[in-house]
Amino acid sequence: MIKKLAAEFLGTAWLVLGGCGSAVLAAAFPQLGIGFVGVSLAFGLTVLTMAYAIGHVSGCHLNPAVSVGLWAGGRFKAADLPGYIVAQVLGGAVGAGVLYLIASGHAGFDVSAGFASNGYGAHSPGGYSLLACLMCEFVMTFGFLFVIMGSTHGNAPRGFAPVAIGLCLTLIHLISIPVTNTSVNPARSTGPALFVGGWALQQLWLFWLAPIAGAALAGVVYRWIGNDDPLPVDVSGAPEPE
């Protein structure tokens, strides 16, 4: 279990550093900015790369909502939830901390400008309402967990789950960055919010509630649809160790 928690910690740190780092450091870089498409790809690539790196160790959840959704879908033990969630949140905080150290080395850096935090209302990139942001995060996380459940099904093509999951997360960001800056992951939201403080922490509740509720419902729905599902292998497609 210690190795699993360490893998979740490192993987979530990589997700926040890679995904949020692309938004903070590269999205609007003069003349070479990667924009929404680049940031979307960066988040997808963090999950894809880590799935192959640690999928055979911890399952590569990197996300409290994913862990809860897999539990609701009968794929994960309830007893393991607290440890995974703590490791993921700590990893997200450390990833944000490393990003802060890098970003603050640039003249004019202002963490209060947002630091890739998620928000609604006045803090939504597109000015979307609380209800719109709540619905967006709920539906997007439902879709994300549904794809995770399907691509890791025991009868799914082995070894391709990270590709499907990474591309799904890319698609989710392409849709929802203008709405909430895209969370679908409470650990990803918590890391930057700890450094921004103020409004980011005040609005953080939505980015815990909506993703967890959406993922839990997706787990239940997929468990019903795929009720003949054998116990799945990890997301990398490697067999579980003896």
**What per-residue confidence (pLDDT) applies to 157?**
79
pLDDT at 78 over 80: yes
Contact 95, 12 (CB under 8 A): yes
Question: With bands split at pLDDT 50, 70 and 90, how would you rate the model's confidence at 73?
Answer: very high
**Alpha-carbon distance 97 to 192, whole Å?**
8
What is the secondary structure of 112-134 as a DSSP string?
A: GG-TT----GGGSTT---HHHHH
More confident of the two residues 27 and 224 = 224
**How do residues 151-191 score in pLDDT, each as one tens digit?**
988 777 778 899 999 999 999 999 999 999 999 999 999 99
Sign of the Cα torsion 149, 155, 156, 158 reads: positive
pTM (predicted TM-score): 0.90
Contact 149, 65 (CB under 8 A): no
**What per-residue confidence (pLDDT) applies to 239?**
46
Of 56-65, 151-160, 224-233, the poorest mean pLDDT is in: 224-233
DSSP summary character for residue 80: G
**Alpha-carbon distance 35 to 206, whole Å?**
25
Question: With bands split at pLDDT 50, 70 and 90, how would you rate the model's confidence at 240?
Answer: very low
**Alpha-carbon distance 83 to 78, whole Å?**
10
pLDDT average, residue stretch 14-43: 88
How far lies 41's CA from each of 24, 57, 109, in Å? 14, 24, 24
Listed as own residue / partner, the contacts of 123-126 with beta carbons closer than 8 Å and 24 or more positions apart are 123/199, 123/200, 123/203, 124/178, 124/179, 124/180, 124/181, 125/177, 125/178, 125/179, 125/180, 125/181, 126/178, 126/179
**What per-residue confidence (pLDDT) applies to 108?**
83
How far lies 170's CA from each of 5, 81, 227, in Å? 25, 26, 28
Question: With bands split at pLDDT 50, 70 and 90, how would you rate the model's confidence at 230?
Answer: low
Domains of the chain: residue spans and CATH:
2-105+120-225 (1.20.1080.10)
How far lies 58's CA from each of 30, 93, 110, 186, in Å? 39, 19, 36, 18
Question: With bands split at pLDDT 50, 70 and 90, how would you rate the model's confidence at 197?
Answer: very high
